[in-house]
Structure formats: C-alpha cells, structure tokens
Structure 1
Amino acid sequence: MTAPPSPGGASGTKGSGGGGTPTGSLGCTFHGKQYPCYDANRGWFNSQDGCYWEAANPQPAAGDPAWQGHQPGDGTVYQVSCDMTGGGGFAFQWRATPPPGYGGAVSIAKLAQQAVSKMTLNGPDIGIAPKPGGKGLVGLPVWLWDNVSPTTYGPNTASASASGVTVTATGQVSQIAWDMGDGTTVTCDDAGVAYQPSFGARMPACGHVYTRTSAHQPGGAYPITATSTWVVNWQATTGQSGQISVTRQSRTSAVIGELQVLNNN
C-alpha cells in the first residue's frame, strides 16, 4: 500500500462512505472475529486482509503516486483503513478490480432491481394483420409482430449506484407468447415480421390461423394477449453479475368472419 499523500492534495480527500449503511451489510469474519461488512466512515470490509476499503472520492489526479504508475480510468484507487483490526491509520491502494467483499451481495441485488425499475420495460407494441377494426377470415393467417423499440423489445439499459458501487443492467426480449383467445398460444422467439400486401396469404413464422369465426366471442372478437419475457443481464463494478427475468403484457383483439362464396347460378 502507498502512504497517504501530502495534506491538501486531491488524492488526500477521504471517501464519503456512500451516505449510509446498505441493506445486508451485517457480519464479516476475519481470524475468527466478526466485523460489520460496511462502515459508513471506512467502506467495505475485506475478509482476506481485515481492512476496510472505499473508493477515493474524488479519485487522485493523473500522476499522483497513489496510481502506482497507472492512469485514471485504469482501475480504481481505494482508501484502505486497517485501524479496526490493529493496522492503524489508512493508506491508498490501486486495484484493477474491486477487493473481495466490496459492495455486499444483498446490496448489489437491490441495486440490480433498482436498475430494472429505472428501465421502461413494456409489453409489445402490437402489430397485427388484419389490423384492429378490420376483419380476418377463417382459414387465412393472422400476422403477429412487435413494432420494435428499446421499450418494447430492447436493448434497454439503465444503471443504479450506491456506496461507490454501480450496477448496469441491459434488458432484451427473449420471446413473445401470444394467447390467441381460442385456446391456442403462439410462442415466437423473435419480434415477428410486419405484414406487407405483397406477402399475400402465405403463413408467417409468427402467426395463427383461426378455425372458427369470432361471432361467439364476447364483443364478437377474439381477445389476444401478448406476453413478452424480458431477460435482464446486470454487471456490478465489484465484478459480480447476474440475470433477472420479467414479463410484460399488451392486449388487442381480432374479428374473424367466414368467407362468403357467391353463387351466380
């Protein structure tokens, strides 16, 4: 570890501690003795060396000895305090990655959830042909798709931070399940393809063919529910990562009639 910089230097500024004890920062062990995993004045406890680590805030200026020959943005300079375990005082130490225990598992999980809540993850922006207000026919395909955007299909990214730790999450839809209202569910692994008149009556990869009219349905239409499964991968600056799955829904309907055959005889 390097000695503390001379008084008054930017690298001598003590970390703020993050503004409170995060949830889940209870007992950590070092040489058989319990210590709080987080201390508002010292940072996060490292059970491997028995010291508290907190990212220096602000980070030292370029060329400061605390960087140990590295440049700002290449790793992080931490304020390290070992006085709770007999080391005394504090020093500054550069690390390419956060030390063990930095951030606390429960706190990071909460930050991941906060990042997800910051995203606007919606159900599909439903595209359907025949379009709402029109009428499909028994035996002819109904085309289904999502009008792709970051909020309806992804990718969608957000971050949440606390106590010097940042979790960045990116969400993407993995599949859309279409409940067609006639007892059939169509599961599509992509957003589908928007219908074009040139496609004619061909069957789409994401679509459905009704075998009965919708006349017997309430309101004379089949209710359709589209359920998106969002897979959100998150990464913390502590090196930890994980995945969260959430679902979102949208609804529409389809009027299905019978083809009328004219007899000219």
Structure 2
Amino acid sequence: MAAATGGLVLTAVSPAAADGKVVCPPDGGGDCQVVVTVPGQPGGGHPGGDGTKPGARECVDTLQNVKVPCYLPDLGWWSPNCYYKAMVPQPPAGDPAWEGHKPGDGAVYDAYCPDEGRPVQWRATPPPGAGGGVDPAELAAEAVKRLPIDGPDIGVAPSPGTTGVVGMPVWLWNRTSPRTWGPALASASAGGVTVVATANVWKIQWDMGDGHTVTCGAGTPYKASYGAKESPTCGYRYTTTSAGGEGEVFWVTATATWDVHWAGGGQRGDLSTTRSSQVQLRIGEVQVLGQ
C-alpha cells in the first residue's frame, strides 16, 4: 500500500525489507519514498503470562493507518503526520523561512509530509514528540495516574463477619462498575497535544492468605439459592483453618490488572497497571459432638 500527495511516499512492505530506507530522485525533483515495515497483528495473550505489557510507544501515519518509525536519521522525528528535522545550519537572519522571527527564536525545520510535500516550517517549539518536544508516551503515563479506577469491589461468600468451613466452597467475585472493571477514561494534555487513556480489567488475582492464589475474571455473585454449590467462574476451598493467623482470619487480597490503551499526538501504545483491595475471612472446622 502506498499513498503520495506531494513530495513523500510511505511505502508499506514486508518485515524483511530495510525499515526506514529513504530513496529520493537524484535531481531533487519528484517524490521521495520512505520504506517502512507494517507489522502483523500481535498474537493473543499477554507476554510472560503475568498480565504485564511493555509501555510500548508506536508512531502512526493516521492518514494511512500504518505504523512508521518514530525517528529516521535522514528525516528526523515523526509528529503527525510529518517527519521534522531542524535545519543544520539554520537559515541566516532575514531569510523568509524565519517568517519574520530572529535566529534563536524557535527554529526552522525541514518537514517531510505525505500530504503536504516537503515544506520548510518555522516553529516556536519543537513538534510534539520530536526530540525534546512533548512526548505523547509521557502524557500517557500521566493519563494513567488520573484514571478513575480502584481495586475490586470484593464480593465473597461466606461473607465477612461469618465463619466459613474448611473444605466448603468459597465464592469470589468483583462487583463490577466503571471504577472496578471499566471502561475508565482519562486524558492528559501539554503543548497542544492530548493523550486519552482507556482502561479495562484483564484479570483479577486473589491471594487467599494461606499461601495460595486464584486467577479469575469478574466472578459470579453468590445467591442463597445456590446452597453449597461451587462457583462456576471463581472459587476456592480452604484446607486449613484461619486459627493462629493475624486476627484469627485470612487476609484475602484481590489485585486487578488493568489493560490501558492510549492514543494521541499521532502515537498509540499499551500499558498495564494494578489496583488491590482486601477483605478478611474466618475459616473454621466442623465440630462433631459426641452422642
């Protein structure tokens, strides 16, 4: 796939091609081509199986919806939807490229844009994400901090304040809401760039307080009509009592792993973050009385 509406063509090729190669006509006329790799769709699952994802930063040509290198030595930094590179040396004072400004007041950039050709631009500040400008990945980290998310709103049967029995089913679930399950949204802005982060829970890991863990989704809320049935989605059976533990209870910790997708400033990426909640469970043994 290729598109050209001026002086630059972004050509998508197989991963075996030389990523980022720039080819221009020797006479300086016509179109230049930037050869970029278009990765395949990522496989399912999560690297390492532990729910974490790299804080990946991707640069995207939003006109063609393909990934492009964030930096190319010949063209500079990608900032939607152009590559920008400060001219070296900068034009002399009085050059029209300064647009009436003085040298040192901002900088003049060569801009390589698929939809605009090869303009020269004066800018007061570096383009977003371009070698010292606003980095959308940093804004993404700030947006994650602002997400209105909490640890699971824990539901458990037997309920706290009562005493469960060794060997009997324990039901575990999350009372879902945007704050405890998603989707939850937050944004961060700087330098004219806005990044929006969207978070959803991927999994919940339950530390049962006895050295064992259970990994589930949202779980199934317990109803009295279920009696002593096992949970079909998220349950556990204790093999020991909570006697002797802190407060004579098991401290159960539910940790939600939130998958966060962010986009803005011509870039996108994925992060993960966690939130936890705790509840106490008292587990005893059935007492058999003699006749």
Q: Distance in 2 between matches of 1:111 and 1:42?
A: 23
Superposed CA deviations along residues 104-134 of structure 1, whole A, max 9, x for unmatched, are 1662012111211221221111111111101
Structure-1 residue corresponding to 2:128: 103
Q: Distance in 2 between matches of 1:214 and 1:108?
A: 49
**1:213 partner SS:** coil
Structure-2 residue corresponding to 1:170: 198
Q: Distance in 1 between matches of 2:189 and 2:146?
A: 12
The answer to whether the Cα contact below 8 Å between 1:45 and 1:102 also exists between their aligned partners in 2 is no
Q: Distance in 2 between matches of 1:107 and 1:176?
A: 31
Structure-2 residue corresponding to 1:257: 284
Q: Distance in 2 between matches of 1:164 and 1:259?
A: 65
Structure-2 residue corresponding to 1:215: 243
Which of 186, 210, 219 is 1:192 aligned to? 219
Structure-2 residue corresponding to 1:124: 152
**1:114 partner SS:** helix
The answer to whether the Cα contact below 8 Å between 1:42 and 1:81 also exists between their aligned partners in 2 is no
Structure-2 residue corresponding to 1:82: 120
Compared with structure 1, are the counterparts of its residues 228 and 45 closer, same or farther at alpha carbon in structure 2 (3 Å cutoff)? farther
Q: Distance in 2 between matches of 1:141 and 1:163?
A: 55
1:31 is displaced (CA, Å) by: 8.7
Q: Are 1:241 and 2:279 an aligned pair? A: no
**2:142 partner SS:** helix
Structure-1 residue corresponding to 2:112: 48
- State the identity as a percent: 47
The answer to whether the Cα contact below 8 Å between 1:224 and 1:254 also exists between their aligned partners in 2 is yes
Q: Distance in 2 between matches of 1:134 and 1:141?
A: 14
Which of 85, 88, 102 is 1:33 aligned to? 88
**1:33 partner SS:** coil
Q: Distance in 2 between matches of 1:217 and 1:193?
A: 28
Compared with structure 1, are the counterparts of its residues 162 and 141 closer, same or farther at alpha carbon in structure 2 (3 Å cutoff)? same
Give the AA of the match of 1:82.
V
1:261 is displaced (CA, Å) by: 3.2
The answer to whether the Cα contact below 8 Å between 1:178 and 1:185 also exists between their aligned partners in 2 is yes
Q: Are 1:112 and 2:147 an aligned pair? A: no
The answer to whether the Cα contact below 8 Å between 1:128 and 1:144 also exists between their aligned partners in 2 is yes
The answer to whether the Cα contact below 8 Å between 1:177 and 1:186 also exists between their aligned partners in 2 is yes
1:43 is displaced (CA, Å) by: 9.6
The answer to whether the Cα contact below 8 Å between 1:135 and 1:255 also exists between their aligned partners in 2 is yes
Alignment of 1:145-156 (within 5 A): 145-156=173-184
**1:104 partner SS:** coil
Give the AA of the match of 2:270.
Q
Structure-2 residue corresponding to 1:144: 172
Cα RMSD after superposing both structures: 3.2
Give the AA of the match of 1:247.
T
Q: Which runs of 5+ in 2 are unaligned?
A: 1-75, 78-83, 91-104
Superposed CA deviations along residues 237-260 of structure 1, whole A, max 9, x for unmatched, are x33110111111111111011122
Compared with structure 1, are the counterparts of its residues 262 and 252 closer, same or farther at alpha carbon in structure 2 (3 Å cutoff)? same
**2:189 partner SS:** strand
Q: Which runs of 5+ in 1 are unaligned?
A: 1-26, 36-40, 50-77, 86-100
1:202 is displaced (CA, Å) by: 1.4
Q: After TM superposition, which residue ranges in structure 1, 4 or more long, deviate above 3 angstroms?
A: 27-32, 41-47, 80-85
**1:255 partner SS:** strand
Compared with structure 1, are the counterparts of its residues 170 and 31 closer, same or farther at alpha carbon in structure 2 (3 Å cutoff)? closer
1:163 is displaced (CA, Å) by: 2.1
The answer to whether the Cα contact below 8 Å between 2:108 and 2:121 also exists between their aligned partners in 1 is no
TM-score, length of structure 1 as denominator length: 0.63
Q: Distance in 1 between matches of 2:195 and 2:178?
A: 19
